[in-house]
Structure 1
Amino acid sequence: MKKTWWIAWLLATTLLLLSVSSVLAATSNTNMGFKIWPAQTTTEVNKVWTISFNVPLLSTSVNSDTIFVTDSKQTKVATTINLSPDGLSVTVTPSKAYTAGDYNLYITDGLASWASEQLSEMIIVPFTVSVPAKVTEPAKVIVPVPVTYTSSVNLIVTVTDDFKTVYASDISGSLYLEGRNGNRLGPTSKDLITGKYTFNIYADDDYSLNMFGVSNNVMNTQSIKMPTIKVPIIKIPTTGIPVSTKPTVKTMNLVISSKEGVVGQKSGSIGGRIIPDQYGVPVTVSNSTTTWTTSTDLDGNFVFYLPAGSYQLDVECNDPGYKKHRYKLTVTAGQMSSPLEPVNVKEPIGTLGLRLDLPLVDAGSGVLSGIDTTTKQIVGTVNLDAVVEIYDTALAIPKKIITAKPDKDGKFVATLPSTLIGKKLQIKVIDSSENVYILDMTSAVS
């Protein structure tokens, strides 16, 4: 039996394919060991994928590590994976309704047939969940419409490696523009000799230029913020004579840093590992213009190849009860920067160092007690990288009363309003990695 036995699998679902100009074309990149199928869209927030195979699967190979869904931040979405009794199909059901946005369905090469033959390459199916907005019938008012039409903007992106040579691979299937509402636009033409990719833009938007790829069974993305694109509006003369205009042309460069560039001292890198070893923990690096995202591999490692400069590294956690971690790092060409110690992704958030002076008490389970009409201040200590925000949550929309920062010893003082009757206070502690600890009163002051 050939090892490509299941390339003939079909997605047993009825979805409307997006037009060629608005999705990424299916890409097969055998050098990277994955295949990207045409993007699809659905309005079903509880969409169930059914994947059919032409030979039975080995049941022990079918699990949430070999077939899974990720969201636009590369975080796994909770799903239930079920293999049919005959082993010829798998259903992927979301544990809760999808929200509107972009997702990826992964069918990895960890799957095996009853003959113990494995899939020769990973398959990725991008899909978008689009929740239709309610349409209200507008009032029928006849308004004179100016006789105008919109022109277009041609964005030409030149892609090079960190040695300033034309990037060797065709990345048209993994290079796209994305608008602020998640609309995607692929290149309409490419010139692999010059490394130029052309996008035809017909609508104003705040676009970002994005590129994604897969290595070590991990998806990596690079996203560059762009200035707002304004498409010119052309007025048609009252004579009705057609107007001939050329599209506005804009250009930008995309430099792809690499391991070879680090060796050649053209780029640097940021790398590290997490403890305990865990696959798929989201990791982000960013500066003022660009964001790179990846996730940890099977050994809990991660790496980015980047131009020299200053960056922020964020390591997320797959459990809201554990701390997120943030670092400020400087990248030097030819070198790797990394946190000094492995990042502990199982470190509980805890209280972020919050200790209240009596008579105020942290009563546990998020309960704040000890406040009455005579309370004038909230005094205590927190971690040095944290701030304390006091809110009144008795209102329909909670209102911030005051923000207090700790001194060099971690002590803070928050002065309260002259009257507290009817107010229900909340203490929110936020540290520099955006971890949050909250205490709430059980009832308003009376």
Structure 2
Amino acid sequence: MVKKTWWIAILLVITLLFLSVSSVFAATSTTGFKIWPAITTTDVNKVWTISFNAPLLSTSVSSDTVYVTDSKQTKVATTIKLSPDGLSVTVTPSKAYSGGDYNLYITEGVMSEVSGQLSETIIVPFSVIVPSAFTSSVNLVVTVTYDVKPSVTPDLAGKLSLQGPSGDRIGPFSSDLLTGKYTFIIYADGDYSLNLFSVDNGVMNTRSIKIPTIKVPAIKIPTTGTTATPTVTVKTVSLVIPSKAGVDGGKSGSIGGSTNRASLTEETWGIPVKVSNTTTTWTTTTDINGEFKVYLPTGSYTLLVDGNGPQYKKHSYKLTVTAGQMATPLETINLEDPINKLGLLLDESKSVKDDGSGGLNGIDATTKEIDGSVNSDAIVYIYDTVPATPFLLTTSKPDKNGKFVAKLPSALIGKKLQIKVIDSAENVYSLDMESAI
């Protein structure tokens, strides 16, 4: 029997209502089969329409002559349908494709009514990329009120910002001074903080509020050809701004204090001051007189005042703010109070020694523990500093007398130990081994 040449086409067509179809053109070859250019699709319900230039013999069109295989050459369940005029065949998957590589086969078993069988098998490689979900956005609406309503409501658009996980700051998308509402649009998951900048008592102040973790809703791209309509997710935050007028009117309180700036050899100002509770942090600095003041809602807070350089102690205080009053430390804060090792004194009877210049000596592979004493509000951390990121080996809290015992792991060979002492005011003192064990 003489094989006559005839052609097929797989035409790329988009059916807007339901499905999408694809196509390519092939010419006759003498190799017995032809691999056509690979195609990539995101349609998991991909339907192939194969067009021919002559009517097909209906008995030659079946899942044995036209079929799809996966990457393991296993047949994929499909429905094969010949058009009424016999000029096209559709290949519809019985269920949605998974992501991966496939091959569409049109074999030599396909025959036309007048021209005989195909002269070669056609293979069309295609890849399916399963559509992932896309994210919409979250509208964060911040409602700003004041402890005492000002005569003119200020526009905070340039002072109010949202800081995201990457550190980038976002300004409000819109604002309404009549209602005090500022709207931010968030496109990424993460932990955000709301920051308000202001100038009080001649220094810059920042108020930072932790926002509950934002989860931007994911909307799955439908596989049925329908269109996804995302709903707008709205989160709300209330921000009450305390003020001097609010303190005077018994609505809010304040935390303030003074330092020994005037007695320092080199007078300084602008020392960082931080006031915080579980949700909010206020930051400011000392003014030219070495004093500071922060207006606050009533409640319990931690006050942290830096020293005049890293060699000096930070000072920490627990204070309670009541309406109409200023809470303050009972003492003038010493900005040049030496850290003094945070009370770290090693028990040298265990052979572990502080060399007096930040070095840690006397540790070898047989060392079982490090004993000593520290200030009662300090915690002792033992690290291995060989890794690029130091690895925490153990932690020890002192007893009521300041004594601590830090048990070490049995395998110390190859480790380089560091003792780090941190107190409640975040002061740090450390000793380091010169080389690994």
Return the TM-score normalized by structure 1: 0.61
Contact conserved, 2:261 with 2:289, CA < 8 A, in 1? Answer: no
Deviation at 1:332, TM superposition (A): 1.1
Alpha-carbon distance in structure 2 between the residues aligned to 1:391 and 1:321: 22
What letter matches 2:252 in structure 1? S
Alpha-carbon distance in structure 2 between the residues aligned to 1:229 and 1:166: 35
User: Secondary structure of 2:342's partner?
Assistant: coil
Please point out which of 308, 311, 324 is paired with 1:334. Answer: 324
Partner of 1:286: 276
Residues 280, 438 of structure 1: CA spacing in aligned structure 2 closer, same or farther, 3 A cutoff? Answer: same
Partner of 1:199: 184
Q: Deviations over 1:199-235 (max 9, x none)?
A: 2334434322211122344211111111233333445
Residues 295, 236 of structure 1: CA spacing in aligned structure 2 closer, same or farther, 3 A cutoff? Answer: same
2:430 is equivalent to residue 438 of structure 1: yes
User: Secondary structure of 1:344's partner?
Assistant: coil
What letter matches 1:409 in structure 2? N
* Structure 2, gaps ≥5 residues long: 1-125, 263-267
Q: Deviations over 1:9-32 (max 9, x none)?
A: xxxxxxxxxxxxxxxxxxxxxxxx
Alpha-carbon distance in structure 2 between the residues aligned to 1:393 and 1:148: 42
Residues 238, 336 of structure 1: CA spacing in aligned structure 2 closer, same or farther, 3 A cutoff? Answer: same
User: Secondary structure of 1:226's partner?
Assistant: strand
Alignment of 1:13-52 (within 5 A): none
Deviation at 1:373, TM superposition (A): 5.9
Residues 383, 234 of structure 1: CA spacing in aligned structure 2 closer, same or farther, 3 A cutoff? Answer: closer
Q: Which moved more, 1:184-193 or 1:413-422?
A: 413-422
User: Secondary structure of 2:247's partner?
Assistant: helix
Deviation at 1:159, TM superposition (A): 0.8
Please point out which of 384, 400, 406 is paired with 2:398. Answer: 406
Please point out which of 299, 308, 311 is paired with 1:309. Answer: 299
Alpha-carbon distance in structure 1 between the residues aligned to 2:231 and 2:380: 56
Alpha-carbon distance in structure 1 between the residues aligned to 2:127 and 2:428: 53
What letter matches 1:218 in structure 2? V
Alpha-carbon distance in structure 2 between the residues aligned to 1:292 and 1:179: 18
What letter matches 2:209 in structure 1? I
Contact conserved, 1:160 with 1:167, CA < 8 A, in 2? Answer: no
Alpha-carbon distance in structure 1 between the residues aligned to 2:132 and 2:410: 62
Partner of 1:319: 309
Contact conserved, 2:261 with 2:269, CA < 8 A, in 1? Answer: no
Deviation at 1:441, TM superposition (A): 3.1
2:310 is equivalent to residue 347 of structure 1: no
Residues 339, 146 of structure 1: CA spacing in aligned structure 2 closer, same or farther, 3 A cutoff? Answer: same
What letter matches 2:142 in structure 1? V
Alignment of 1:198-217 (within 5 A): 198-217=183-202
Residues 144, 434 of structure 1: CA spacing in aligned structure 2 closer, same or farther, 3 A cutoff? Answer: same
2:140 is equivalent to residue 155 of structure 1: yes
2:284 is equivalent to residue 299 of structure 1: no
User: Secondary structure of 2:329's partner?
Assistant: coil
Alpha-carbon distance in structure 1 between the residues aligned to 2:432 and 2:221: 62
Contact conserved, 2:135 with 2:216, CA < 8 A, in 1? Answer: yes
Alpha-carbon distance in structure 1 between the residues aligned to 2:366 and 2:215: 58
Deviation at 1:301, TM superposition (A): 1.1
Report the structure number with the largest CA radius of gyration: 2
Deviation at 1:262, TM superposition (A): 1.1
Deviation at 1:142, TM superposition (A): 6.3
Partner of 1:389: 381
Alpha-carbon distance in structure 2 between the residues aligned to 1:238 and 1:394: 51
Residues 423, 221 of structure 1: CA spacing in aligned structure 2 closer, same or farther, 3 A cutoff? Answer: closer
Residues 262, 145 of structure 1: CA spacing in aligned structure 2 closer, same or farther, 3 A cutoff? Answer: same
Partner of 1:86: none
Residues 244, 357 of structure 1: CA spacing in aligned structure 2 closer, same or farther, 3 A cutoff? Answer: closer
Alpha-carbon distance in structure 2 between the residues aligned to 1:367 and 1:439: 5
Partner of 2:8: none
Alpha-carbon distance in structure 2 between the residues aligned to 1:399 and 1:247: 44
Q: Deviations over 1:404-440 (max 9, x none)?
A: 2222222222344557555543322221112122223
* Structure 1, gaps ≥5 residues long: 1-140
Deviation at 1:285, TM superposition (A): 1.1
Partner of 2:34: none
- Number of residue pairs the alignment of both structures matches: 305
User: Secondary structure of 2:246's partner?
Assistant: helix
What letter matches 1:282 in structure 2? P
Contact conserved, 1:187 with 1:198, CA < 8 A, in 2? Answer: yes
Contact conserved, 1:388 with 1:403, CA < 8 A, in 2? Answer: yes
Please point out which of 239, 245, 262 is paired with 1:260. Answer: 245
Residues 373, 164 of structure 1: CA spacing in aligned structure 2 closer, same or farther, 3 A cutoff? Answer: same
Deviation at 1:143, TM superposition (A): 5.4
User: Secondary structure of 2:245's partner?
Assistant: helix
Q: Which moved more, 1:370-379 or 1:335-344?
A: 370-379
Deviation at 1:444, TM superposition (A): 4.5
What letter matches 1:256 in structure 2? I
Alpha-carbon distance in structure 1 between the residues aligned to 2:238 and 2:419: 47
Alpha-carbon distance in structure 1 between the residues aligned to 2:206 and 2:283: 5
Contact conserved, 1:159 with 1:167, CA < 8 A, in 2? Answer: no
What letter matches 1:365 in structure 2? S
| Percent of aligned positions that are identical | 64
User: Secondary structure of 1:262's partner?
Assistant: helix
Partner of 1:180: 165
Alpha-carbon distance in structure 2 between the residues aligned to 1:412 and 1:353: 12
Partner of 2:371: 379
Q: Deviations over 1:116-165 (max 9, x none)?
A: xxxxxxxxxxxxxxxxxxxxxxxxx9653639754433322211111478
Q: Deviations over 1:315-364 (max 9, x none)?
A: 12352211122222111111111111122221221211122233443221
Alpha-carbon distance in structure 2 between the residues aligned to 1:171 and 1:435: 36
Please point out which of 355, 359, 369 is paired with 2:361. Answer: 369
Alpha-carbon distance in structure 2 between the residues aligned to 1:336 and 1:433: 22
Deviation at 1:365, TM superposition (A): 0.8
Residues 212, 377 of structure 1: CA spacing in aligned structure 2 closer, same or farther, 3 A cutoff? Answer: same
Partner of 1:83: none
Contact conserved, 2:201 with 2:293, CA < 8 A, in 1? Answer: no
